[in-house]
Amino acid sequence: MKIILTQDMEKLGLKNDVISVKTGYARNFLIPKGYAIQATGSAVKIHNENLKQRAHKEEKIRQEAEKLAAKLGAVKLVIGAKVSSAGKIFGSVNTIQLAEALNEKGFEIDRKNIILGEEAIKEVGSYKAVVKLHRDVRVDVNFEVIAE
């Protein structure tokens, strides 16, 4: 069944994507929850017209995201954490702490748009995080975890 997503869905697609999913998944989960609408002929025509109108706005937003990415790429964050005598962090550094550090530097980034590596950060050192600013714009942010 073809559907049009009404919001970003992890591992499925982004908002306004027309995708094919199994009929039961669409009818029993996506459509009732409001995550998607059925891609009928008229819905696709309306969807295409809306996309044309939004294209100009989207380009402007993407350019602003690229400018922000250039500024973010030069930022070096320092995050303090309580550390044991062996150099291990009590707990771990997460996206909330990174978002707070970015807010202190003047960048309002939602923690959901920050991606850390595969493993939890549990030691003092230098690391990289990826910040999603737009569907096409991602930037690496370097940060260092130090002992408080």
The pLDDT value recorded for residue 130 is 92
Distance CA 126, CA 142 (A): 7
Q: How many CB atoms lie within 10 A of CB 38?
A: 14
pLDDT in tens, the chain (148 residues): 999 999 998 889 998 899 999 999 999 999 999 999 999 999 999 998 888 888 888 888 899 999 988 988 888 899 988 888 887 888 888 899 999 999 998 889 998 999 987 778 888 889 999 999 888 889 999 999 888 8
Q: Which CATH class is domain 2-62?
A: alpha beta
Q: Where in the chain is the domain with CATH 3.10.430.100?
A: 69-147
Task: Determine the topology of domain 69-147 in CATH.
Answer: Ribosomal Protein L9; domain 2 (3.10.430)
CA dihedral 16→17→20→21, nearest 10 degrees, is -60
pTM: 0.62
